[in-house]
Amino acid sequence: MADTVLTALISALATVAAAVIGVAWKKSLEPKEAKDLSSSREALQKKSHKFDVFVSAPMAAYETDAEVKADHDRIGPVVAYLEDQLSLSVYWAGRNIRSKADFDAPDISATKDVEALLESKFFLLLYPAKIASSVLFEAGIALRSCLTSIYFVRSTKHLPFLMTQASQAFKNVRTYEGELPGDLSALLRRHGKEFFAPRASDS
C-alpha cells in the first residue's frame, strides 16, 4: 500500500512539474508583454482612444499672422498625410487657425486640448524652433497618457534639458531631427504607421 501511495504521489508531482515547465517554455516563446513596450502605465491600461495621433505645435507662441500662417502651412501637409494616406484619426488644434484672430480663448483652448490629449494614443510634437510654448506642457501630459511620444525637432538643442534625455530615460519616447514638412513626410512615407508603433525595451 505504501509503495502504491508513494508511486502515485511521485507521478502526481511529475505531472505538475511537467505542466509548470510547459507553461514556462510556452511563455518564453511568446512576444514581449505590453508592459515592455511603454513606460506609461496609464497608456497601457487604456482599451480605446478617440484619436490615433495628437499633433502638438507652437502656433499660439508666434507674434504675427504671417508666422502663424507659415507654421500652419508647414504642419498641414503632415496632418493630411496622416489622415489621407495612413488613415489615422488626428487631433490638431491649429487645423482651422491661419491668423491670431482665429484662436479660441486660452481657457477654452486648454480644456479642449487636454481632453483630446488624454484621449489620444500617440503624441507627435512638432517643434521647429526654440520657443516658449504650451507644447512643452502637453509633452509632459503625453509622457504619462500616450503609448508613444515622438518629438520631431529642428535641433535637439532647442528642447529643455530633461526632454533632450527623455528618449533615453523612457521607453515610450523617441526624438528625431529634421525640417518640416519634408523630412517628417519622408519618414512617414518610409515607415507608415510603424513610425508610431511602441518598441520593446532592449533589456
- Report pLDDT digits (tens) over 40-55: 667 777 778 999 999 9
Give me the phi and psi of 58, to 5 degrees please.
Answer: -85, 50
Return the domain boundaries, the chain: 2-30, 41-195
Q: Is the pLDDT of residue 29 over 60?
A: no
Assign domain 41-195 to a CATH class: alpha beta
> Which of 36-40, 126-130, 155-159 has the lowest average pLDDT?
36-40
Mean pLDDT for the chain?
81
- The predicted pLDDT at position 198 comes to 84
Q: Cell 488626428, residue?
A: 90
User: pTM for the full model?
Assistant: 0.77
Q: Is the pLDDT of residue 201 over 70?
A: no
Per-state percent for the chain, helix, strand, coil, to nearest 5: 55, 15, 30
- The predicted pLDDT at position 147 comes to 93
Q: Over the stretch 90-146, which tens digit does the pLDDT of each residue have?
A: 999 999 999 999 988 888 888 999 999 999 999 999 998 888 888 999 999 999 899
